[in-house]
Structure 1
Amino acid sequence: MNIIALAWEFPPRIIGGLSRHVAALYPELVKLGHKIHLITVEVSGAPAYEVVDGVVVHRVAVEPSDDFFHWVANMNKSMAKHALQLIGEFAFDIIHAHDWLVTDAVITIVEQLQLPIVVTIHATEHGRWNGIHNDTQRFVNSKEMKITAIAQNVIVCTNYMRDEVERALHCDRQKISVIYNGLSQKRIEKAQQARAQTFDRQALRQKYAQPDECIVYYVGRLTYEKGIFMLLNAAPKILAVTQDKVKFVIIGSGEAYSILLKRQAWDLGIYHKVIFTGFMADEDLYKFQTIADCAVFPSLYEPFGIVALESFAAAVPTVVSDTGGLPEVVRDGKTGVITHTNDSESLARGILKVLQDREFRSSLIENAKQELHDRFTWSKLAQQTEAVYKKACLPITRVY
């Protein structure tokens, strides 16, 4: 098939998990014989046009705006204009859109040409905020409802998300397909290479902890929904049991929220035990993971949790909350530890179980490595996506 894809982020523009999802999926579809034209947003230092792992990438200029929603509207105009130019040159079979942000561009395209639409919903506004409470959230929710209504098929990353999209977006369950996220072979190999690489691990470790201290870390966006404050609440309990022999490392960007987290750490009397690194480049993260003892993702809302797969690849034992899709990704006691959401006591017990039981840690690492191969390889997930494309190409019934 000739596929036109729309996504508001693609490397090196990385805002959330969507970017890596798109970058890993489409090269595998290219290997299956499909032609992918991806329209995304320009980013400093990246060309407006290039071929990346077989994917033809078009980065469009977007008129700047201080208002995010005005900027999104400008982005949609640029994307739609460029897509229509491409459609004049190529005979496309299908549109694959990612999330609500490209809704208006998709509508503009199909008004001109009746292409089938597949949309991947990576998260919902209802899920992020535990309901729709204000006009901004209602606006986003309406866009999500619009794009899922006009799509022939909707892809979500977990069974949890299938229920959420059906309930929150009033989407026909029969057209929702569950296809897990995966981890690219390239990222798996880089994590493994870092573990095999020769470098001064002791010197790196000394940047974060004393020789007798364990390292527990979180990596991801610093936002409320990620539940990082629960890790800080659990920290005093962990320190009391381990006689202060743990350092907590918080990796990720989000300056405004990090101020609140730093204040919380100070108020809890653990500020000297917590390190906020800010953004960490992948190559540095791979090295850091080789000296870490436990990865923790205590999310309040998590449609999937690709960071768990990244810790699987890095051979770091993983503790997560039982929210969203995380219990579908992590098998409790087999590939990681699942704790109760928004429960610092449960989180502390889960982390201590990992830190205090060497054999248990080893079994988690080995089982997680196997899970990556069996359930989360993009080559298999691309085949499932291809099947959804074929289903979407049945006769179109459009609802506006």
Structure 2
Amino acid sequence: MHIAYLTPEYPHEKISNGGGMGTSIKNLVEALVELGHEVTVFVYGQAVDAVFVDHKITFHLIAQKKYQLGGFYFYRKHIEKYINMNKGSIELLEAPDWTGITAFMNLQLPLIIRFHGSDTYFCHIEKRAQKFKNKFFEKKAVSRANAFIAPTNFAGEKSMELFNLPKDKLKIIHYGLELEKFNNTHPDTYEKYRLLNIGTLIRKKGVFQLIETFNKLVEIEPKSTLVFIGADSGDVQTGSTSTWELMKEKMTTNAAARISYLGKIPYNEVQGQIKKAHVCVFPSLAETLGMVTIESMALKKAVVNTDIGWAQDLIDHGVDGFMYHPDDIDSYVTTISRLFNNRELVKELGENATQTIQNKFDIKKNALENIDYYKLVLNL
């Protein structure tokens, strides 16, 4: 097949944005190419227009354009025109739900939308008001899709419900990892008492709950350290331009002395940071799956995770990780302290976690699921 993906991000040195969604697309695209399929990636919102081929993948960078009025409409029409002009032998286009980028587009290709996490979904999960414009764009975009894919049951079913879409058009296919790239040959080697959190510093990731957790933990385990990795962001609730600055205000003196913020680091350095961690902790309030959770599990790490909805597809509580609501601070403190002092439990969780990833999140298996579904949508 020849499949195309429309995305605002993709981890590549020539592309300006890369995040969890981009990583999941990259993993899938590379697996499809390995299976012999042809792939084109259209990346919008870029600094310049460019076309290049890398690892048998054709990339089209579509520069961001500015308009005096109606940019939300005219830029989408520009993307539409570009894709239609360059569709060649492409049989199907997949696009994300975020911002309803395909709203107003009349594409000359069947369209599948993958629920990476729309503004509609996140506003509902976080119980915050949504701008009418965002809801309108996303609703219009999904109304034009032929079918839908979601990475977890919760994210898929909730998205279909919010957009009032027929559930028979939904397929659940987990994100996947290239497992051969996730090897931890020395899982017993790590920095004792080191906690790690990876992700954009934003309220919905549970960063304030994690600070509260660490404030208590450091009083119990004074040798504890906490490392944050990820880009800083503004805070919608307060209007602050820096969530990190707000986080610092919540730290006790003892906690602040034991917390490090490394900022956003190159993707190829993240694994090393995961391997150094004693425990990885992700108390997120809003995700569709959470790539960093499955990456940490693949590297045989003990993970203490959120328990909200989507997490039920990832972890069997007490077997291959632990799950608690982000507001259940005491359970996080108790469990992390227990892991700090039980080397065998850390090892057991890590071994079980890796087995779970091999069984459910192998990108080679998941790529085949995607192809089967694409063919079903196309009636092939």
TM-score by length of 1: 0.83
Residue 257 (str. 1) matches residue 243 (str. 2): yes
Alignment RMSD:
2.8
DSSP 3-state at the match of 2:280: strand
Q: 1:95 to 1:288 in 2, by over 3 A?
A: closer
- The residue aligned with 2:272 is 287
Alignment of 1:282-361 (within 5 A): 282-361=267-346
DSSP 3-state at the match of 2:86: helix
Q: 1:221 deviation in Å?
A: 0.6
Q: Distance between the aligned counterparts of 1:156 and 1:392, measured in 2?
A: 15
Matched-pair contact (CA < 8 Å) for 2:97–2:113: yes
Q: Distance between the aligned counterparts of 1:233 and 1:20, measured in 2?
A: 30
Q: Distance between the aligned counterparts of 1:100 and 1:289, measured in 2?
A: 28
Q: Distance between the aligned counterparts of 1:176 and 1:165, measured in 2?
A: 10
Matched-pair contact (CA < 8 Å) for 2:218–2:254: no
Question: Match of 1:53, as an amino acid?
Answer: H
- The residue aligned with 1:386 is 371
Residue 246 (str. 1) matches residue 208 (str. 2): no
Residue 180 (str. 1) matches residue 188 (str. 2): no
Question: Match of 2:11, as an amino acid?
Answer: P
Q: Distance between the aligned counterparts of 1:230 and 1:99, measured in 2?
A: 28
DSSP 3-state at the match of 2:227: strand
Identity score, percent: 23
TM-score by length of 2: 0.87
Alignment of 1:92-171 (within 5 A): 92-101=90-99, 103-104=101-102, 107-110=104-107, 113=108, 115-130=109-124, 134=129, 136=131, 138-171=132-165
Q: 1:186 deviation in Å?
A: 6.1
Q: 1:371 deviation in Å?
A: 1.8
Residue 36 (str. 1) matches residue 30 (str. 2): no
- Superposed CA deviations along residues 252-308 of structure 1, whole A, max 9, x for unmatched, are 111511110011114x65211211221122333322223210110001112101111
- The residue aligned with 1:210 is none
Residue 228 (str. 1) matches residue 207 (str. 2): yes
DSSP 3-state at the match of 1:348: helix
- Superposed CA deviations along residues 97-156 of structure 1, whole A, max 9, x for unmatched, are 122446347x5343xx3x3211101113233223675562x3222222222222121000
Q: Distance between the aligned counterparts of 2:45 and 2:208, measured in 1?
A: 34
Question: Match of 2:351, as an amino acid?
Answer: E
Q: 1:42 deviation in Å?
A: 6.5
Q: 1:43 deviation in Å?
A: 4.9
Q: Distance between the aligned counterparts of 2:49 and 2:79, measured in 1?
A: 16
Q: 1:248 to 1:14 in 2, by over 3 A?
A: same
Matched-pair contact (CA < 8 Å) for 2:120–2:138: no
Q: 1:55 to 1:102 in 2, by over 3 A?
A: farther
Question: Match of 1:122, as an amino acid?
Answer: H
Question: Match of 1:253, as an amino acid?
Answer: A
Matched-pair contact (CA < 8 Å) for 1:6–1:102: no
Structure 2 residue aligned with 1:16, among 15, 19, 29? 19
Listed as ranges, the gaps of 5+ residues in structure 2 are 234-241
Question: Match of 1:32, as an amino acid?
Answer: L
- The residue aligned with 1:208 is none
DSSP 3-state at the match of 1:278: coil
Residue 219 (str. 1) matches residue 198 (str. 2): yes
Residue 52 (str. 1) matches residue 54 (str. 2): yes
Q: Distance between the aligned counterparts of 1:283 and 1:38, measured in 2?
A: 21
Q: Distance between the aligned counterparts of 1:61 and 1:120, measured in 2?
A: 23
Equivalent pairs, count: 367
- The residue aligned with 1:274 is 259
Question: Match of 2:59, as an amino acid?
Answer: V
DSSP 3-state at the match of 1:258: helix
- Superposed CA deviations along residues 5-52 of structure 1, whole A, max 9, x for unmatched, are 2111112343431111111111222233322221113656x9822223
Q: 1:92 to 1:287 in 2, by over 3 A?
A: closer
Matched-pair contact (CA < 8 Å) for 1:302–1:324: no
Question: Match of 2:266, as an amino acid?
Answer: A
Q: Distance between the aligned counterparts of 1:331 and 1:104, measured in 2?
A: 36
DSSP 3-state at the match of 1:222: coil
Matched-pair contact (CA < 8 Å) for 2:123–2:129: no
Q: 1:340 deviation in Å?
A: 2.3
Q: 1:223 deviation in Å?
A: 0.5
Matched-pair contact (CA < 8 Å) for 1:103–1:146: no
Q: 1:262 to 1:66 in 2, by over 3 A?
A: farther
Q: 1:350 deviation in Å?
A: 2.3
Structure 2 residue aligned with 1:26, among 11, 29, 33? 29
Q: 1:366 deviation in Å?
A: 0.8
Q: 1:307 to 1:66 in 2, by over 3 A?
A: farther
Question: Match of 1:38, as an amino acid?
Answer: V
Listed as ranges, the gaps of 5+ residues in structure 1 are 206-212, 396-400
- Superposed CA deviations along residues 301-337 of structure 1, whole A, max 9, x for unmatched, are 1210111111123332111010131121122112111
